[in-house]
Structure 1
């Protein structure tokens, strides 16, 4: 494998083609819901990410083939008064799982977060996701306030459905 990780340039046609391809591959996986995203949604992904001022996207390639994505957003920790990076989507196409691609993507995310003076990385993960072991090996753990570990849950409320 000839693995390279790049920060996406939304104006680069190769990157603009890879992003919806990889997001849809993630959606097709059971961890992403197991269903293809509508073409209309896929056509809005790159323009939407490009317009979002805090988006950070990293792409993994084997040669010229896109094989993984880390879709992130910069946020702000009010308790640390510093930025943070949330890993919103981390996906590797099935035939490359277990080959270190996810770890390399996370390394690039952490490198960028350090350069931005971020205080932490965050992510949400399904309890049944095999990638949890990767996240734990990489240093992700339960949310804590001081010395107290707090289990957190992820809630959502859909608004503005279209």
Structure 2
């Protein structure tokens, strides 16, 4: 039987840093990501830049000690509740490990952290065509009222 372990990311641990980089690159290559690998300069800078970013919190899934998925998150703040928020920026399960409950396990770990840190909510953005939308809905995520859209302007 396969062993699934979810851990909070320690970017000073080389195994964790390598797993974050590998899983984030796998996500970037996916149709739900950028459909291409991370740029080489991004790969060189990512871990160091995350270490410098004080609101980063991450979680890694390992299946039989192999990197199986990642949740890259950041703390934000709700002015309406005067409490912290955890935003899931990336939630990805590496292709060979999909269908094993890893996404659910990562979401559950983010939620446990949010409760421990007295956050008022966990947020994420999801593409309308993302195959994981059902996972997020089963985990209790909803569009809310009024329905909001994620917009961006690249600079």
TM-superposed deviation, 1:111: 0.4
Which consecutive unaligned segments of at least 5 residues does structure 1 have? 144-148
Which consecutive unaligned segments of at least 5 residues does structure 2 have? none
2:148 counterpart residue number: 152
Instruction: State the alpha-carbon separation in 2 of the partners of residues 38 and 124 from structure 1.
Output: 22
Indicate if the aligned counterparts of 1:92 and 1:102 stay in contact, CA closer than 8 A: yes
Indicate if the aligned counterparts of 1:28 and 1:36 stay in contact, CA closer than 8 A: yes
5 Å matches for 1:11-160? Answer: 11-143=12-144, 149-159=145-155
Please give the secondary structure, in 2, of the residue aligned with 1:25.
helix
**TM-score, length basis structure 2:** 0.96
Instruction: State the alpha-carbon separation in 2 of the partners of residues 131 and 45 from structure 1.
Output: 25
Please give the root-mean-square deviation of Cα atoms over the aligned residues, in Å.
Answer: 0.8
Please give the secondary structure, in 2, of the residue aligned with 1:32.
coil
TM-superposed deviation, 1:16: 1.0
The one-character-per-residue Cα deviations of 1:85-129 (angstroms, maximum 9, x if unpaired) are 000000001121121000000111000010100000000000000
Runs of 4 or more, structure 1, over 4 Å off, are: none
**TM-score, length basis structure 1:** 0.92
Aligned residues: 154
